[in-house]
């Protein structure tokens, strides 16, 4: 029997999943390449930032980044043209506009209470404003000031201007104030709270209130356009007192009333009407 020896044949195929090991020299070269690549990218970013930040006439200031559209929302008493003028955003770089600083510029107008600015791509700015709501007039330093419910002066009005809101008086102390300033007197706060309560109850139309004197904040004095004399309010329960006043007005609407010096609402169980010309010793008519 013939014996055949098996011949050993080497498998020259490369096994999958195995990679050729890099030499130390090759690893060093690869590491240097990655290192220099990071340095290059970092330097390029730094140069680009410096150019954007400090070079005023770079490509960032070209026309394709200039603000072209400004939208105004919420304005009634202040014109859009005036708001845009205060903002100073027209023809400015869209990306370089500082929104908080721009909002402060717009808020310098006494009518403006709040401002919100937003960028609108591609080249727009949206300005949303909340205006102050006129609440009353305040006679101060021989001037009539239109104020909101926070006591902020909106504007100064002329003596001849028709006044459809109540006029608060009784502020003797002279202070230097301008539109946009808040009147600092505590009795102004008292007057605002009284007017809010009267208006909130809807018992007296705002247009019918003539003045509110808060010189003595423990006894504010109200005057109405269609009711003679002063009305002593005292402190507290303003709503109930105004209801008594309205009942008196309804009961005497068709009667010819004599001239009245004042109507006293400070008592819980009665209303005192003092005819004009009677002395202080007279307690008046109790109704």
CA distances from 236 to 123, 155, 190, 242 (A): 56, 31, 11, 11
Q: How many CA atoms are closer than 13 Å to the CA of 94, on its beta-carbon side?
A: 20
- pLDDT at residue 114, rounded to an integer: 96
CATH class of 136-286: alpha beta
Residue-range domain boundaries for the chain: 60-131, 136-286
* Model pTM score: 0.71
CATH class of 60-131: alpha beta
Q: Is the peptide bond before 142 cis (omega within 30 degrees of 0)?
A: no
Distance CA 243, CA 201 (A): 9
Torsion sign (Cα): 210, 216, 217, 218: negative
Q: Is 109 exposed, middle or buried (0-12, 13-18, 19+ CB in 10 A)?
A: buried
- pLDDT at residue 227, rounded to an integer: 79
| 257: CB partners within 8 A, 6+ apart | 228
Q: What is the mean pLDDT of each run of 10 residues along the chain (287 residues)?
A: 51 53 65 74 78 57 75 95 92 86 95 94 90 95 93 92 89 88 93 89 83 92 88 89 83 73 89 75 46
């Amino acid at each position: 029997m013939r014996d055949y020896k098996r011949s050993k044949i080497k498998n020259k195929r490369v096994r999958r999943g195995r990679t050729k090991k890099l030499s130390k020299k090759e690893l060093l070269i690869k590491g240097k390449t990655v290192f220099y690549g990071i340095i290059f990218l970092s330097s390029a970013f730094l140069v680009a930032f410096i150019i954007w930040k400090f070079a005023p006439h770079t490509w960032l200031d070209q026309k394709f980044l200039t603000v072209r559209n400004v939208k105004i929302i919420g304005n009634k008493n202040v014109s859009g043209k005036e708001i845009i003028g205060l903002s100073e955003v027209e023809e400015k770089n869209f990306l370089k506009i500082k929104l908080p600083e721009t909002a402060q510029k717009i808020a310098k107008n006494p009518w403006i209470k709040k401002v919100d600015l937003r960028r609108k791509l591609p080249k727009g700015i949206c300005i949303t404003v909340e205006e102050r709501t006129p609440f009353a007039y305040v006679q101060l330093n021989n001037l009539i000031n239109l104020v909101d419910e926070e006591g902020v002066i909106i504007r100064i009005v002329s003596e001849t201007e028709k006044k459809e809101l109540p006029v608060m008086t009784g502020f003797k102390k002279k202070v230097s104030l301008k539109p946009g300033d808040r009147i600092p007197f505590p009795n102004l706060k008292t007057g605002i709270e009284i007017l809010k309560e009267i208006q909130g109850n809807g018992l007296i139309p705002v247009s019918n209130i003539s003045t509110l004197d808060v010189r003595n904040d423990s006894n504010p004095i109200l005057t109405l356009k269609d009711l003679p004399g002063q009305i002593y309010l005292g402190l507290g329960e303003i709503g109930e007192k105004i209801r008594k006043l309205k009942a008196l007005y309804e009961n005497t609407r068709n009667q010819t009333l004599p001239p009245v010096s004042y109507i006293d609402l400070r008592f819980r169980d009665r209303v005192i009407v003092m005819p004009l010309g009677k002395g202080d010793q007279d307690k008046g008519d109790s109704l």
